[in-house]
Chain A
Amino acid sequence: MRGLIRRIAGLFTRNQRDHDFDEEMESHLRMHIEDNIRAGLTPTEARRAAMLKLGPMAHVKEAYREQGSVPIIESTAQDARLALRHLAKNPGFAITAVGVLALGIGISTAIFAFVDASLLKPLPYRDPHTLVGVYESAAGFPQSPLSYLDYLDWKSMNTTLSTLEVYQRGGFQMMTDQGASRASGARVSEGFFTALGTAPALGRFFRAGEYQAVVINHSTWQQQYGASQDVIGRSITLNGTAGTIIGVLPKGFHFTPVEPANYWTLIEPGKGCVARRICHSLSGIGRLKPGVSQQAALTELKSIATQLEKLYPASNKGQSANVIDLSEVLVGNIRPILFTLLSGAGLLLLIATVNVTGLLVVRAESRRKEIALRSALGASRLRMFRQFLTEGTVLATLGCALGLLTALVAIQLLTKLMPTAVAERMPFLNAVGLNSQILTFAAIITILATIMFAIIPASSFKWKRLGSKLVAMELATAMVLLAGAGLLGKSLFLLLRESTGMRPEQVVVLETSTPRDYDDKKTLAVQAAIADRISALPGVQSVDFTSSLPL
């Protein structure tokens, strides 16, 4: 081990060692010659005898050199220098090959970074694999929201879940000194944060029946309350009801289905939708008890649903249960889009490497003479292959380095391209960036590309006439891949833009809300007034109201 370290260190002291060796040999010979002369030989004979006894000098020197460092590293470094010289001599080839590779590696790494941030990273909650999404199901509606009363029954009757909580997205109307404003938020059952395994950054979370309590998220605490410690206990008016801030969520906490959510309150039973068993408005989140499978939980909830169906035939006819992975709830909708993008990027990368391989094969053809000469001078087949491998590594490494830079830029660009509203709903994308997984991904790509760059041009020598055919083959493959990538792009376009049967052009949406204590008559009056004012604006054709948007 110690010897190996010294030998590797020896890579950098070669000249000094050579010099030392020469001097040592000289002193050795001089001493030997002197001894020989003393023994009665003539100076010429003495010198000859000493040289003979020392053995073949070139051989000794070679053995000494090999012992002094690690020959395989030295020759590889030599190959790498040769490869770099080749590249520098053919700037056209170098720029094309490295540029194409950098683009391919960069784009696929950038897309992979998004895939990693949204699909591969574990969910940011305690024991995420035991968390499940809990829903009701009905004919033609496999994932329908829970009604509050069904939820209460499920919660008390089930034995497979250690906890079952519900949440609902929805904003508030907030009264401030400047007047009424809209505030994003969510309503949850009291054990919600505990179920996720989240601890408050400040204060505490809900206790049963604290319907006036408000929890705010970290960014609201920072921006609206200047991160002040005495935010706990401050009063806040949401939807016309006075409430008190009791806690602040930790930094980086997000729960995708309700984001953006700045203010969180408890679901208040006995009012409106929540009071009716037939009104379904909540999503459930449960934690499986240790050793319980998702399937077992589903079976039990289904049987509970059947009991409820018998008890409340009017509201629960045909209502069953559904249990899915929490990750499906959080990122299920963007999964197909990301996978399409990743496949597209993969195809792009394949085109890039295939094209560069094509260039290498053509270049290998023109290097036939050099190869023949080196073989004639005694380079073994393995040695020649090692040269191709080193050249491939140099090319792929340059491409990878530039590709990582491209990836960094592409990630920035893609993140900026996303509209704020979309970005707010995908808080997990805040974490997009280069990490060890992504670097590993880039490294694997680079190694695969290297292998391709080494094997194909090298084998084009073995099957002599294959060379030119390979070029044609590569071109054909590239065409097929290009067509594939084009089709993938089209699928992506269709995925993002499903036909809605409406003409959304020229339509703008304005959200309005009225205080909770307004009755229908008062609300209608406000709406009529708003409609009048808006239609008076130049360029407005028609105005109308809806409780929920069709999209």
Chain B
Amino acid sequence: MENKTDVWQGTLALMVLKTIEAMGTIHGYGIARRIEQTSGEQLSLNYGTLYPALLKLEQEGAIVSEWGLSDNNRKAKFYKLTRAGRKQIDKATKEWAQTTAILERFLCAD
């Protein structure tokens, strides 16, 4: 447990977007599980924090939601990327790569 990292501020949105991009359409619970798996169980995530983030992304027009049926025939709300969402991923990915590259120079300086 102690080795798990909290999700950094501002990175959750990008993780959510990338997850939805990978899965096509997916419900909130699925996104939560998927993020944990993708991180190799390294991240500790309160699933609840996902939902305000999803609402925010939806308000910004990056994703859209629709009620549907899950694999087990359960009613669930499914999320899907929009074109604006794809653009946001591109932009955030570039920014993130730049940030890590800069940080790396500092870390490898000595």
Among residues of A, the one whose C-beta sits closest to the C-beta of B57 is A3
Measured in the bound complex, the distance between the Cα atoms of B61 and A3 in whole Å is 8
CB of B25 to closest CB in A, whole Å? 15
Determine whether the beta carbon of A63 is less than 8 Å from that of B49.
yes
Q: When the two chains form their complex, are residues A27 and B76 in contact, meaning their CB atoms are under 8 A apart? A: yes
- Say yes or no for B56: interface residue by CB 8 A criterion: yes
Question: A481-501 toward B: CB 8 Å interface, digit per residue (1/0)?
Answer: 000000000000000000000
**A24 contacts partner chain B, Cβ-Cβ < 8 Å:** yes
A20-38 interface mask toward B, CB cutoff 8 Å, 1 = contact, 0 = none? Answer: 1101110110111011000
Q: Which listed residue, B27, B46, B55, B61, touches A27 by the CB 8 Å rule? A: B27
B40 on interface, CB distance cutoff 8 Å = no
Give the residue of A7, A23, A55 whose beta carbon is less than 8 angstroms from that of B48.
Answer: A55
B38 within 8 A of A: no
Residues of B within 8 A of A28 (CB): 27-29, 47, 76
A36 CA to B60 CA, complexed, in Å: 34
Question: Is A2 in contact with B76, judged by CB distance below 8 angstroms?
Answer: no
With beta carbons under 8 angstroms apart, the residue of A3, A20, A68 that contacts B77 is: A20
Judged by DSSP, the binding face of A is helix
User: Do residues B52 and A24 form an inter-chain contact, with CB atoms below 8 A?
Assistant: no
- Decide if A54 is an interface residue (CB 8 Å cutoff): yes
Give the bracket for the number of chain A residues in contact with chain B.
20 to 34
Residues of B within 8 A of A3 (CB): 56, 59-61
Name the A residues within 8 Å of B94 (CB-CB).
none
Measured between beta carbons, the chain A residues less than 8 angstroms from B56 are 3, 67
Which one of B29, B52, B70 contacts A60 once the chains associate, using CB atoms below 8 Å? B52
Contact A54 B48 (CB under 8 A): yes
By a CB distance below 8 angstroms, the chain A residues around B72 are 31, 34
* B interface residue count range (under 10 / 10 to 19 / 20 to 34 / 35 or more): 20 to 34
Residue among A6, A10, A23, A28 facing the most chain B CB atoms (10 A cut-off): A28
Q: Flag if A63 contacts B76 (CB, 8 Å).
A: no
User: Please, which residues of chain B bring their CB within 8 A of the CB of A67?
Assistant: 52, 55-56, 59
Residue of chain A at shortest CB distance from B51: A64
Asked, given contacts A27-B74, A27-B77, whether A53 binds B47 with beta carbons under 8 Å apart, the answer is yes
Inter-chain CB contacts under 8 Å: number? 73
Q: Evaluate contact between B49 and A60: CB separation under 8 angstroms.
A: yes
Instruction: Give the docked Cα–Cα distance between A20 and B67 (Å).
Output: 10
Query: Is there contact, CB below 8 Å, between B61 and A2?
Result: yes
Tell me whether A59 is interfacial, beta carbon within 8 Å: yes
A226 at the interface (CB under 8 A from B): no
Say whether B75 faces chain A, with CB atoms less than 8 Å apart. Answer: yes
The chain B residue with its CB closest to the CB of A21 is B51
User: Which residue of A is nearest B61, CB measured?
Assistant: A2
> Which residue in chain B gives the minimum CB-CB distance to A62?
B52
B48→A60 contact, CB < 8 A: yes
A23–B47 Cα gap in the complex (Å)?
Answer: 15
Q: Are A6 and B76 in contact (CB under 8 A)?
A: no
Q: Which parts of B15-74 form the interface with A (CB within 8 Å)?
A: 27-29, 33, 46-49, 51-52, 55-56, 59-61, 70, 72, 74
Contact flags A184-206 to B (C-beta < 8 A → 1, else 0): 00000000000000000000000
Within 8 A of A (CB), among B84-101: none
Check if A56 is an interface residue, CB within 8 A of chain B.
yes
CA distance A3 to B59 in the complex (A): 5
0 or 1 for each of A161-187: is its CB under 8 Å from B? (1 = yes): 000000000000000000000000000
Nearest CB in chain A: distance from B57 CB, A: 9
A242 at the interface (CB under 8 A from B): no
Cβ contacts under 8 Å, A55 to chain B: 46-49
Contact (Cβ within 8 A) B48 A57: yes
Q: Give chain B residues whose Cβ lies under 8 Å from the Cβ of A60.
A: 46, 48-49, 51-52
- Closest chain-B Cβ to A364's Cβ sits at a distance in Å of 38
Bound CA span A440–B74, Å: 58
Report A-chain residues with C-beta under 8 Å of the C-beta of B55: 64, 67-68
In the assembled complex, which residues on chain A have CB atoms less than 8 Å from the CB atom of B46? 53-55, 60
Convert A458-500 into 0s and 1s, putting 1 for each residue whose CB lies closer than 8 angstroms to a CB of B: 0000000000000000000000000000000000000000000
The residue of chain B having its C-beta at the shortest distance from the C-beta of A7 within the complex is: B59
Closest 9 CB pairs of A and B: A60-B48, A55-B46, A55-B48, A6-B59, A67-B52, A63-B52, A3-B59, A3-B60, A27-B76
A-binding residues in B (CB < 8 A): 27-29, 33, 46-49, 51-52, 55-56, 59-61, 70, 72, 74-77
Name 30 interchain pairs, CB-CB below 8 A, sorted by A: A2-B59, A2-B60, A3-B56, A7-B59, A23-B75, A24-B28, A27-B27, A27-B29, A27-B70, A28-B28, A28-B29, A31-B29, A31-B72, A32-B29, A32-B47, A35-B33, A54-B46, A54-B48, A55-B46, A55-B47, A56-B48, A59-B48, A60-B46, A60-B49, A60-B52, A63-B48, A64-B52, A67-B55, A67-B59, A68-B55
Beyond A7-B59, A20-B77, A67-B56, list 10 extra A-B contacts (CB 8 Å): A2-B59, A3-B61, A24-B51, A24-B76, A28-B47, A32-B47, A34-B74, A63-B48, A66-B52, A67-B52
